[in-house]
Amino acid sequence: MKTIAITGGAGFIGSHVVRLFVNKYPDYKIVNIDALTYAGNLANLKDLEGAANYEFVKADIVNAEEMFQVFDKYQFDGVIHLAAESHVDRSISNPTEFVLTNVIGTVNLLNAAKKIWADNFENKLFYHVSTDEVYGSLGEEGMFTEETKYDPHSPYSASKASSDHFVRAYFDTYGLPTLISNCSNNYGSYQFPEKLIPLFINNIKKNLPLPVYGKGENIRDWLWVEDHARAIDEIFHKGALGSTYNIGGHNEWTNIDLIKVMCKILDEKLNRKTGTSEKLITYVKDRAGHDLRYAIDATKLQNELDWVPSLQFEEGLEKTIDWYLENEAWLENIISGDYQEYYEKQYEQR
């Protein structure tokens, strides 16, 4: 029996990782540590309520003492760290929040792990989940490899880059057994509707403007979230300690092409005349410091751990659109903010 901490498990990617681990490994106890910020939602894990090998702990990774107490209580064998402030636009308006959660929070977790493991690191593992944005922006050619020099541009990517450096520093300095993965843009169910794909699905459905930053020429490399969770599973169990793995879908789209495909699919699903939803496209002021292009070379992961994405993008996008159309109550609950009021009340009483 192993006890594994997954931080940020109530968020978008974290909820998929928790679900995969709880269902696939009945002999692991999975402890989901999440502060339930605006982005954390336990409705993302409703299907796991009552699972014998799952527990939720509401705690803030920025609070060092609280983290140590949680680690001391559960004596984790492994940590998969996803908790973060994750939205680039929010990092532009409030960078300090990103330093606290992404940098200080990560260092608190490293310290808590180092302390409870008391420098006896056998069969222990600290796995840090990071982003391709640490590598900066590509021109028309090339891809990010694990050797690409870090060159972050947004406060979000700078904070993630800093946290990656701390994880490597703990491996080099203290011998803490660590792993890092850097993944491209994820899409799929349970993504908070501030991010491009769920935001635009919701706006198309409601006939609201689709705010395209700049000319819509920026390129992102999209990966289905469940394929990211599968990659995390492979890396956690088979990755070479101290190393880094890039994860990506080989699936580059300009924003505007992607948005037009979404408009077309939704015209069909909502029984609208072809071209109706495209009329909602509205070009707005560009995001400050907007990275032009991300593209991941995931050859190392494929060669060493035999991982490849399972789903073609067209299929994944349609599945995702169907999920948001079918889960209107989940989306509306978030947009109205009802779920946050509920948490405030629920946890006040404890």
Catalytic residues: 132-133, 156
* Residue 61, binding choice from ligand DAU, ligand NAD, none, Cβ under 5 to 8 Å by partner class: ligand NAD
Tokens of 165: 């450096």
Count of C-beta atoms within a 10 Å radius of residue 280: 17
Binding mask 270-309 for ligand DAU (x = CB under 6 A): -----------------x------x---------------
Asked if 131 touches ligand DAU (CB under 6 A), the answer is yes
Listed ranges 14-22, 73-81, 192-200, 298-306: which one lies at the site for ligand DAU (CB under 6 A): 192-200
CB closer to ligand DAU out of 199 and 311: 199
DSSP strands (E only) in 267-342: 281-284
What whole-number distance in Å separates Cα of residue 79 and Cα of residue 243?
16
Cα(271)–Cα(57) distance, rounded to whole angstroms? Answer: 44
Q: What residue ranges bind ligand NAD (CB under 6 A)?
A: 8, 10-14, 34-37, 39-40, 60-62, 82-86, 101, 105, 129, 131, 160, 183, 185-186, 192
Q: Which is nearer to ligand NAD, 49 or 122 (CB)?
A: 49
Least distance to ligand NAD, CB of residue 115, Å: 18
From the CB of 267, what's the least distance to ligand NAD, in Å?
A: 26
Residues between 54 and 93 that touch ligand DAU (CB under 6 A): 86-88
Q: Is 132 in the site for ligand DAU (CB under 6 A)?
A: yes
Which of 101, 185, 246, 320 binds ligand DAU (CB under 6 A)? It is 185
Binding residue (CB under 6 A) for ligand DAU from 29, 114, 128, 220: 220
DSSP state of 177: -
Give the pairing type, strands 244-247 and 281-284.
unpaired
| Helices 196-205 and 255-269: angle between axes, nearest 10 degrees | 40
Nearest to 214 by CA among 116, 287, 158: 287
Minimum distance from residue 128 beta carbon to ligand NAD (Å): 8
Q: Which is nearer to ligand DAU, 69 or 207 (CB)?
A: 207
Beta partners for residue 342, in sequence order: none
By beta-carbon proximity to ligand NAD, the closer residue of 29 and 228 is 228
Taking the complex as a whole, how short is the minimal distance between the CB of residue 168 and ligand NAD, in angstroms?
16
Nearest to 39 by CA among 217, 242, 191, 264: 191
State in angstroms the smallest separation of the CB of 23 from ligand NAD.
18
SS (H, E, C) 45-65: HHHHCCCCCEEEEECCCCCHH
Q: Calculate the CA dihedral of residues 176, 83, 191, 161 and round it to 10 degrees.
A: -60
- Using alpha carbons only, give the angle 24, 30, 31 rounded to the nearest 5 degrees: 160
Residue 296 is given by DSSP the state B
Residues 21 and 28: beta-carbon distance below 8 Å = yes
* Contact residues for ligand DAU, defined by CB under 6 A: 86-88, 131-133, 184-185, 195-196, 199, 211-213, 218, 220, 255, 287, 294
